[in-house]
């Protein structure tokens, strides 16, 4: 239960303005900036430098321009334009074209129709130069609408787009059937948000068991699925299952977050598996960063050590 409690604690802290101000002041500047471990930087240039390094290690990447839960249409428009600028910059840089985004960043909580328009603008620009776009999954209250919007754009012909399912949510088995029928690409994660008992497993062992169950279905029935986890036991289970079913490594990919378990990222590539690293960047890094702390309280010690060393 420590996991649930620490997720809840850090999710609450992620709304603290004082902490956010302090973090913005100290987190990304200085030679030992603690946020840099998990965030590639604040600018597109930082992000492109980071993905070049990842690509040079024989890995793939997906770029996430950080931002979520915007409260105004102006902020949603700014995020949309930032994604359009990112598409242009990635295209010019000649690196792999793969993005991840969040619908609440495009205005979902303000005006659903405008959010869909914003998403379509990004998908249209991306389609013109061969991008794949993944719609991240946010908290459970956004799950149904996220899948509905995904289905809408998919049926309109934007098929270079995929979604995410969280094994923590009870509904994900049914969502798997619904999305898999379309032949769409699914990324499977455990789920980064604190969720109530009514909708989600509370015990880590249940979340992990649901993960392995869904991962096996994805590997045998899915369309180029993404198994996104740093959990070694699950990774071993998936590798064994795929080999047993004769599913070769180019039919799925593993994904991990920037700065987390780089050792495992490297060893999976050495074993011949595909590895995609999720590379977040931008100025709105605080909520993302707090979720990473909540997942592993040992990260707090790392942050404190960095701050003390900096002083
Ligand atoms: C590519 C990718 C995309 C994601 N997209 C989404 C999304 O769209 N929606 C969503 O809700 N969640 C998303 N997540 C986050 C996910 O839901 C989990 O919160 C996160 O991956 C931690 O769970 P785990 O599967 O690694 O397993 P855990 O059981 O939490 O961790 C297993 C091991 O991984 C390492 N580890 C895990 N987290 C950390 C950390 N923060 N710092 C250091 N080490 C750590 C530790 O060694 C730990 O023992 C994404 C994760 C990845 C990898």
According to the 3-state scheme, what is the secondary structure of the chain? CHHHHHHHHHHHHCCCHHHHHHHHHHCCCCCCCHHHHCCCCCCHHHHHHHHHHHHHCCCEEEEEECCCCCCCHHHHHHHHHHHHHHHHHHHHHCCCCEEEECHHHHCCCCCHHHHHHHHHHHHHHHHHCCCEEEECCCCHHHHHHHHHHHHHHHHCCCCCEEEEEECCECCHHHHHHHHHCCCCCEEEECCCCCCCCCCECCCHHHHHHHHHHHHHHHHHHCCCCEEECCCHHHHHHHHHHHHHHCCCHHHCEEEEECCCCHHHHHHHHHCCCCEEEEEEECCCCHHHHHHHHHHCCHHHHHHHHHHHHHC
Query: Across residues 291-308, what is the average pLDDT?
Result: 79
Mutational test site, ligand 1, from 103, 104, 192, max ligand atoms within 8 Å of CB: 192
- How high is the pLDDT of residue 124? 97
- How high is the pLDDT of residue 300? 80
**pTM value?**
0.93
- How high is the pLDDT of residue 231? 97
- How high is the pLDDT of residue 298? 83
Task: Give percent of the chain with pLDDT exceeding 90.
Answer: 80
Query: Across residues 228-242, what is the average pLDDT?
Result: 98
Residue 159 clears pLDDT 90, i.e. is over it: yes
Q: Is residue 34 a part of any domain in this protein?
A: no
Give residue 299's Cα distance to chain centre.
Answer: 19
User: Which residue range is the domain that position 195 belongs to?
Assistant: 2-27+45-310
Query: Across residues 108-123, what is the average pLDDT?
Result: 98
Taking CA atoms only, the protein residue closest to ligand 1 atom 29 is 231
Q: Is residue 176 a part of any domain in this protein?
A: yes
Residue 294 clears pLDDT 90, i.e. is over it: no
Mean pLDDT of the chain: 92
Q: Is residue 267 a part of any domain in this protein?
A: yes
Least confident of 90-104, 118-132, 201-215, 296-310: 296-310
Smallest CA-to-CA distance from 193 within 151, 136, 231 is with 136
Number of domains composing the chain: 1
Q: Is residue 35 a part of any domain in this protein?
A: no
Q: Is residue 166 a part of any domain in this protein?
A: yes
Query: Across residues 246-254, what is the average pLDDT?
Result: 98
Least confident of 29-43, 86-100, 206-220: 29-43
Query: Across residues 235-253, what is the average pLDDT?
Result: 98
Q: Is residue 224 a part of any domain in this protein?
A: yes
* Ligand 1, residues at Cβ distance < 6 Å: 136-137, 164, 166, 189-193, 228-231, 255-257, 260-261, 278, 292, 295-296, 299
Residue 127 clears pLDDT 50, i.e. is over it: yes
Q: Is residue 32 a part of any domain in this protein?
A: no
- For residue 158, what is the domain's CATH number? 3.20.20.220
Residues annotated as catalytic are 136, 187
Residue 32 clears pLDDT 80, i.e. is over it: no
- How high is the pLDDT of residue 1? 44
Band the pLDDT of 108: cuts 50, 70, 90: very high
């Amino acid at each position: 239960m420590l996991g649930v409690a620490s997720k809840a604690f850090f999710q609450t802290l992620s709304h603290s303005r004082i902490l956010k101000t302090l973090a913005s002041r100290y987190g990304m500047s200085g030679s030992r900036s603690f946020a840099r471990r998990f965030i590639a930087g604040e600018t597109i240039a930082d992000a492109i430098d980071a993905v070049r390094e990842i690509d040079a290690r024989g890995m793939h990447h997906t770029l996430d321009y950080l931002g979520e839960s915007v409260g105004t249409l102006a902020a949603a428009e700014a995020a949309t334009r930032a994604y359009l600028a990112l598409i242009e910059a990635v295209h010019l840089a000649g690196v792999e074209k793969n993005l991840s985004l969040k619908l609440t960043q495009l205005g979902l909580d303000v005006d659903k129709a405008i959010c869909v328009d914003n998403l379509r603008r990004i998908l249209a620009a991306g389609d013109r130069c061969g991008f794949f776009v993944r719609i991240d999954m946010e908290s459970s209250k956004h799950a149904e609408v996220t899948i509905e919007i995904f289905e809408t754009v998919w049926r309109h012909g934007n098929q270079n787009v995929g979604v995410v399912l969280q094994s923590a949510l009870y509904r994900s088995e049914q969502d798997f059937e619904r999305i898999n029928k379309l032949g769409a690409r699914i990324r499977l994660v455990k789920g980064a948000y604190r969720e109530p008992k009514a909708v989600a497993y509370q015990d880590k062992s249940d979340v992990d068991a649901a993960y392995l169950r869904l991962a096996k279905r994805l590997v045998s029935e899915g369309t180029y699925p993404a198994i996104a986890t740093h959990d070694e036991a699950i990774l071993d289970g998936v590798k064994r299952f795929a080999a047993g079913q004769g599913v070769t490594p180019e039919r799925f990919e593993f994904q991990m977050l920037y700065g987390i378990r780089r050792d495992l990222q490297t060893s999976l590539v050495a074993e011949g598996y595909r590895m995609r690293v999720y590379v977040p960047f931008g100025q709105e890094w605080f909520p993302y960063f707090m979720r990473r702390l909540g997942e592993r309280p040992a990260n707090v010690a790392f942050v404190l050590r960095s701050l003390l060393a900096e002083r």
